[in-house]
A and B are shown apart, each in its own frame.
Chain A
Amino acid sequence: MSIFDNKKDSNETYRIIIFLSPFLILLFLAFLQILNLSYFNSDKFKTQSESNRLYQSKIIPQRGFIFDSKNTLLVENNIQQDLEINPSFIENPRIFLKQIADLLELNLNKIESDFYIRATGKSPNEPYILIKDLNEKQIAKLSVNLKKIKGAEIISSFSRNVIHKEVMAPVIGYVGNISREDIFYNPELSQFKSLKIGKTGVEKDFDSILRGNMGYRIQERDSNGKLIRNISLEPPIKGKDLQLSIDLDLQKKLFSDFNGRKGALVAIEPKTGLIRALISSPTYDPNLLNTINDYEEVKSLFADKDSPLFNRALSGQYPPASTLKPFVGMAALEAETISWEKQIIDSGEYYVEGDERPYKGWKEGGHGNVDMKKAIVESSDVYFYSLAYDLTINNLSPFLEKFGYGKQSGLTENEAKGILPSRKWKLGYIGEAWFKGDTINMGIGQGYITATPIQIALAYAALANKGEIVKPRIIEKVGNDSTEKVSKLNISLSDNKNWKRIEEALLGVVEASNGTANNIYDRNIRIAGKTGTAQVKSIGETEYKFLREDESLRDHALFVGYGPVEDPKLVVVAIIENGESGSAVAAPLVRKAINLYSKNEK
């Protein structure tokens, strides 16, 4: 007996079975799928369910501290409390953000825009900091209410604090988030996301030392993101401390003399290459950038036409002007195209045969009969025009190269090289042949040649060392290990007495009554040095008075010197942009630096 022959009309039964069957088939398929999931693929899902509960999070290490040469703390880390959010736990962003804004008494629009800007391009399970540096009231409110808000958590983090903000900014630099570009140049950074790395200065150059090692923590969390327990912990390792060669006291006193004027100063110990002061002005507050939330806040810094972020001491490329003259003279002595005694008549103008155009000296009427010493002391242009003309570029450039012109100083990879022109250089960069006039201009450090303040300082350090070129250093100690002096080159002259004679000429610049820097004469501490006035724009005399009104077109004032001459402790170069006269504004800075430092040393 079957259900069909049981009843007279079984058409309904027949139909019930037909309409039942799709669901029976579906149920059968479902059973196969369950078999597939929980029998054949069970291991895979078991692993997934494990990792579902367990979250690995990174613990940011504390960056190394930075001290000055006398162990004064320069850079520390402030502990701050931030609000971190995990987007994957947020159910309704609008409500979530409203709750947060009400609780912290913050502007909802600002938080919303931050949230959406940051949410883009991130995987939704990657936690990030939404609100930085909460104040005490906010922390108190949050810790009471956070349990009700899914996906938010207070975490502590470090913010970098440069104690003597503007004074130290060009040396220390600032830190920032790792950018795509950073990862491109240094792929290992990709594992340090959410860590801040040095962007400029010592923070950048010694980032790998200061950075430390990441810590890791494995935690069990539920799907609301609430912590259930910590499973394992590998603590982070703090970065190593650095001791700089910078003398904070010296740096501060010199910096205050800049008074906001544009310029740079580098003070180096010639014997060791240790940099005792490094100033670039105007400057900035690095802590603004260290704690930056978004670019808008510091946009003005980047847009400022005085470029406060630009390190003029390392990357400002200036014509060395008259500070180059001693080297031109030495090159001519080496090439034997001149002698110490030979006199040249300086009538204020220099002519090349077959050329009507005059090359003018800075002093109207000239300096009369000048020999090498007088030419340096009084800074005769005509004498060095003539010297350079006879010497030719092929002899001049290679000699200057020995003193470090046209090459990075070796302090960091992020400094400028300056330009040391040669025939080949001009053909390649300007696309023109070298003219004799180019050599003549180069004789007084003008024309195509440019140098950075640190290059000039190092070249004069070689004069102070009587030929030894040392590599500049700004770090005295890494952790407890002292850095060591590196001697790059020992320049020997055909007549080693020439070192002494050049020094005497440079002494004359300060000490002779006709010296261009006679204004800084001080018999207690003897300084050898050279003034320079770098022309911003070559202009005719008639236009000159008029143009002086526009400050940005005024000449740059330079002075470079070392002292005490008997035992040089410090080489200092000072450049004041648009400062006009090297002796008036730059030389006193150098004097002050050497005096302060010599007294300190005693």
Chain B
Amino acid sequence: MRNSPLSFSVNLKIDKSQNNSSQFDYWILFSIIFLCSFGLAMIYSSSNSLEMTIRQGAYFFLGLIGMLLLAFSNFRKMEVFYLHSFWPALFLLIIVLFFPSENSKTSRWIDLGLFTFQPSELMRFILPISAASFLTKNLKTKMKDMWLVIFVTLICFYLVAIQPDLGTSIIILLAGLLPVVISGFPWIYIFFGGFLATLSLPLIWMSLYDYQKQRILTLFNPEADIYGAGWNIVQSKIAVGSGGLFGKGFLNGSQSQLNFIPESHSDFIFSVIAEEFGLLGTSILFLIYGILIYRLLMVSFYSSNKFAKIVSGTLSIILLAYISINISMVIGLLPVVGMPLPFLSQGGTALVVNLLTIGIILSLRKEV
């Protein structure tokens, strides 16, 4: 493949030592620790709740341990376990529809007494791994298996969409379909599928809840309804814009401190960062995310193992999807869907799952 058309552009020489050793990737570790600690500070700033911050800190600690355990595990031995862990995840996804936590309007959480957790978050982590494992069980991936994965993915998508949780259901779709398309699903079918999806847009539109439709409509003209559906976007844009170059300072963002930003500690935490640290802060954030994603992708690019390639590739893309969609919706480029900012937004399940994701990729890295 020396004359591959892309070869000139991707000159990503990772130092040789990495290639022949299983040395730990400290770039990844440090960027994770930075992001999570920064997230804790911002959660405190936006919620003013020490309790919430400590709780999130506890999840961080738990997740970090989980991450390190996974990172040093042997994924080959775990593969069978990953393959079959799909079933309990699916089971939980069904259970949550019947026994949702009573503290919420939607059926997203399962209440385990001490804490609640989101089966959909677990699924978007398990699904790509078990799918990749299933698809790579034979040397050459069979079409039949691909169709099966697509079918299962659509079921999971449906189960999450009716919770309702539009944001995570989109991620589930990515989580299940990316392994299929990466492992060599014919382009003709991909284009045809994309074509079908475009045609069915009106159908999807009709199946949306009113508030979801409203959010999409609001995107095009948030100022039309400042105090109604447009409130989130307008307030969040004001926060980002008023931060200016250097921000208003930690704990000094008037938009967030006076609670003008809705969900400022979870989905809209980016606008708090932008308000309090300005363009400088967001640029640094982009840089750290950039380093993280780059290092994660390298694992995939340099991996010789198809399973490892698919899993790390899919998980990296999902992480990037979370980051780009969350930031885009906060600044009014995309409709508001429930999608947290990885490592920063408040939310225990998401944080732990994201850390486990990193753990998996780190364990695959040893196979480079």
**A138: CB under 8 A from chain B?**
no
B349 surroundings in chain A (CB, below 8 A): none
Given contacts A23-B317, A23-B320, contact A5 B242 (CB under 8 A): no
**A52: CB under 8 A from chain B?**
yes
Instruction: For the complex formed, measure the closest distance between the CB of A181 and the CB atoms of chain B, giving whole angstroms.
Output: 28
A20 touches B316 (CB 8 A): yes
**Closest chain A residue, CB of each to CB of B290:** A27
A39 touches B279 (CB 8 A): yes
**A425: CB under 8 A from chain B?**
no
Given contacts A23-B317, A29-B328, contact A48 B6 (CB under 8 A): no
B241 touches A38 (CB 8 A): yes
**Closest chain A residue, CB of each to CB of B255:** A49
CB contacts under 8 Å to A, within B1-46, are 1-2, 4, 6-8, 10-13
A38 touches B255 (CB 8 A): no
**B158: CB under 8 A from chain A?**
no
B1 touches A29 (CB 8 A): no
**B323: CB under 8 A from chain A?**
yes
Could you tell me the distance between the alpha carbons of A31 and B290 in the complex, rounded to whole angstroms? 12
Could you tell me the distance between the alpha carbons of A53 and B228 in the complex, rounded to whole angstroms? 18
Could you tell me the distance between the alpha carbons of A32 and B71 in the complex, rounded to whole angstroms? 36
Instruction: For the complex formed, measure the closest distance between the CB of B128 and the CB atoms of chain A, giving whole angstroms.
Output: 12
Stretch among B107-115, B203-211, B214-222, B303-311 lining the A interface: B303-311
**A37: CB under 8 A from chain B?**
yes
Instruction: For the complex formed, measure the closest distance between the CB of A535 and the CB atoms of chain B, giving whole angstroms.
Output: 63
A88 surroundings in chain B (CB, below 8 A): 227
**A222: CB under 8 A from chain B?**
yes
**A482: CB under 8 A from chain B?**
no
A87 surroundings in chain B (CB, below 8 A): 227
Stretch among A8-16, A437-445, A502-510, A545-553 lining the B interface: A8-16
Most buried by B among A27, A39, A48, A228: A27
B240 touches A16 (CB 8 A): no
Stretch among B87-95, B148-156, B178-186 lining the A interface: B178-186
B1 touches A10 (CB 8 A): yes
Given contacts A88-B227, A222-B259, contact A11 B4 (CB under 8 A): no
B255 touches A52 (CB 8 A): yes
Chain B contact patch, size range: 35 or more
- Checking B243, B260, B313 against A12 with a beta-carbon cut-off of 8 angstroms, the contacting residue is B313
Given contacts A30-B327, A46-B241, contact A15 B181 (CB under 8 A): yes
CB contacts under 8 Å to A, within B218-233, are 227-228
**B269: CB under 8 A from chain A?**
no
A524 surroundings in chain B (CB, below 8 A): none
- Checking B181, B254, B316, B327 against A49 with a beta-carbon cut-off of 8 angstroms, the contacting residue is B254
**Closest chain A residue, CB of each to CB of B286:** A31
**A352: CB under 8 A from chain B?**
no
**A208: CB under 8 A from chain B?**
no
**Closest chain B residue, CB of each to CB of A88:** B227
Q: Interface 1/0s, chain A 11-43, versus B by CB < 8 A?
A: 111111101100110110111011101110110
A1 surroundings in chain B (CB, below 8 A): 13
- Checking B10, B237, B325 against A2 with a beta-carbon cut-off of 8 angstroms, the contacting residue is B10
**A256: CB under 8 A from chain B?**
no
B297 touches A26 (CB 8 A): no
**B300: CB under 8 A from chain A?**
yes
Instruction: For the complex formed, measure the closest distance between the CB of B308 and the CB atoms of chain A, giving whole angstroms.
Output: 10
Instruction: For the complex formed, measure the closest distance between the CB of A45 and the CB atoms of chain B, giving whole angstroms.
Output: 3
B237 touches A16 (CB 8 A): no
CB contacts under 8 Å to A, within B237-262, are 237-245, 254-255, 257-260
Given contacts A4-B4, A37-B237, A125-B227, contact A42 B244 (CB under 8 A): yes
**Closest chain A residue, CB of each to CB of B253:** A49
**A44: CB under 8 A from chain B?**
yes
A2 touches B7 (CB 8 A): yes
Given contacts A5-B1, A124-B227, contact A12 B279 (CB under 8 A): no
**Interface of chain A, helix or strand or loop or mixed?**
helix
Could you tell me the distance between the alpha carbons of A7 and B328 in the complex, rounded to whole angstroms? 35
**A337: CB under 8 A from chain B?**
no
Could you tell me the distance between the alpha carbons of A52 and B324 in the complex, rounded to whole angstroms? 28
A35 touches B279 (CB 8 A): yes
Could you tell me the distance between the alpha carbons of A50 and B260 in the complex, rounded to whole angstroms? 12
Could you tell me the distance between the alpha carbons of A38 and B309 in the complex, rounded to whole angstroms? 38
B334 surroundings in chain A (CB, below 8 A): 26
Given contacts A2-B11, A12-B310, A23-B324, contact A38 B240 (CB under 8 A): yes
**Closest chain A residue, CB of each to CB of B309:** A12
Could you tell me the distance between the alpha carbons of A52 and B239 in the complex, rounded to whole angstroms? 10
A9 touches B306 (CB 8 A): yes
A27 touches B4 (CB 8 A): no
- Checking B245, B257, B328 against A42 with a beta-carbon cut-off of 8 angstroms, the contacting residue is B245
**A143: CB under 8 A from chain B?**
no
Could you tell me the distance between the alpha carbons of A24 and B290 in the complex, rounded to whole angstroms? 10
B4 touches A5 (CB 8 A): yes
**A72: CB under 8 A from chain B?**
no
Instruction: For the complex formed, measure the closest distance between the CB of A391 and the CB atoms of chain B, giving whole angstroms.
Output: 73
Given contacts A12-B309, A42-B241, contact A3 B302 (CB under 8 A): yes
Chain A contact patch, size range: 35 or more
Could you tell me the distance between the alpha carbons of A211 and B195 in the complex, rounded to whole angstroms? 69
**B117: CB under 8 A from chain A?**
no
A49 touches B238 (CB 8 A): yes
A48 touches B238 (CB 8 A): yes
Could you tell me the distance between the alpha carbons of A5 and B6 in the complex, rounded to whole angstroms? 10
Instruction: For the complex formed, measure the closest distance between the CB of B52 and the CB atoms of chain A, giving whole angstroms.
Output: 18
Given contacts A15-B181, A23-B317, contact A52 B238 (CB under 8 A): yes
**B86: CB under 8 A from chain A?**
no
Instruction: For the complex formed, measure the closest distance between the CB of A546 and the CB atoms of chain B, giving whole angstroms.
Output: 68
**A191: CB under 8 A from chain B?**
no
B304 touches A7 (CB 8 A): yes
CB contacts under 8 Å to A, within B156-175, are none
**B331: CB under 8 A from chain A?**
yes
B178 surroundings in chain A (CB, below 8 A): 19
Could you tell me the distance between the alpha carbons of A17 and B258 in the complex, rounded to whole angstroms? 42
B4 touches A38 (CB 8 A): no
B184 surroundings in chain A (CB, below 8 A): 11-12, 15
**Closest chain B residue, CB of each to CB of A9:** B306
**A513: CB under 8 A from chain B?**
no
B300 surroundings in chain A (CB, below 8 A): 12-13, 16
Instruction: For the complex formed, measure the closest distance between the CB of B8 and the CB atoms of chain A, giving whole angstroms.
Output: 8
**A223: CB under 8 A from chain B?**
yes
**B321: CB under 8 A from chain A?**
yes
Q: Interface 1/0s, chain B 272-297, versus A by CB < 8 A?
A: 00110011001000100000000001
**Closest chain B residue, CB of each to CB of A13:** B301
Could you tell me the distance between the alpha carbons of A537 and B237 in the complex, rounded to whole angstroms? 75
B304 surroundings in chain A (CB, below 8 A): 7
A34 touches B240 (CB 8 A): yes
A38 touches B282 (CB 8 A): yes
B313 touches A222 (CB 8 A): no
**Closest chain A residue, CB of each to CB of B185:** A15
- Checking A3, A5, A228 against B258 with a beta-carbon cut-off of 8 angstroms, the contacting residue is A228
B274 surroundings in chain A (CB, below 8 A): 34, 37-38
Could you tell me the distance between the alpha carbons of A1 and B1 in the complex, rounded to whole angstroms? 11
**A6: CB under 8 A from chain B?**
yes
Given contacts A12-B183, A52-B238, contact A37 B302 (CB under 8 A): no
**Closest chain A residue, CB of each to CB of B368:** A6
A52 touches B260 (CB 8 A): yes
**B62: CB under 8 A from chain A?**
no
A39 surroundings in chain B (CB, below 8 A): 244-245, 279
Q: Would you list the 6 A-B pairs with minimal beta carbon distance, nearest first?
A: A45-B241, A49-B242, A222-B258, A16-B313, A37-B241, A27-B324
Q: List 21 A-B contacts (CB under 8 A).
A: A2-B8, A2-B11, A4-B7, A5-B1, A11-B184, A12-B182, A12-B184, A13-B309, A13-B313, A14-B4, A16-B300, A16-B309, A19-B181, A31-B286, A38-B243, A45-B239, A45-B242, A52-B238, A52-B254, A223-B258, A224-B259
Give me 19 other A-B pairs in contact (C-beta within 8 A), A39-B245, A46-B244 excluded. Answer: A3-B302, A5-B1, A7-B304, A12-B309, A12-B310, A12-B313, A16-B300, A16-B301, A20-B297, A23-B325, A24-B320, A27-B328, A33-B328, A37-B237, A37-B241, A38-B279, A42-B242, A221-B258, A223-B235
